[in-house]
């Protein structure tokens, strides 16, 4: 997905999806002394930032052992 203007847009080209996945993998594997991931709480008035989306990400990260700071 890609954010354009005020909406999320699907990315249909597999090359772009693969590139973006690899870019995030590289960023996450370069942390040498730790890193912080910020998960916003979401906003019911903004359909691009629904809390249920962020809650799922938060629940997943907690389930794999990330600690809250």
Write down the domain spans for the chain. 2-63
Report residue 33 as tokens: 């002394």
How is 3-66 classified by DSSP, letter by letter? EETTEEE----HHHHHHHHHHHHHHHHT-SS----------TT-TTS-HHHHHHHHHHHHHTTP
pLDDT in tens, 22-63: 888 888 787 667 778 898 888 999 888 889 889 988 999 999
pLDDT, residue 60, reads: 92
Evaluate if pTM is beyond 0.75: no
């Amino acid at each position: 997905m890609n954010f354009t203007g005020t909406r999320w847009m699907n990315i249909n080209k597999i090359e772009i999806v693969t590139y973006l996945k690899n870019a995030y993998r590289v960023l996450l594997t370069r942390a040498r002394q730790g890193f912080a991931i910020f998960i916003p709480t979401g906003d019911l008035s903004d359909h691009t930032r629904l809390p249920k989306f962020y809650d799922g990400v938060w629940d997943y990260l907690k389930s794999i052992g990330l600690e809250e700071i």
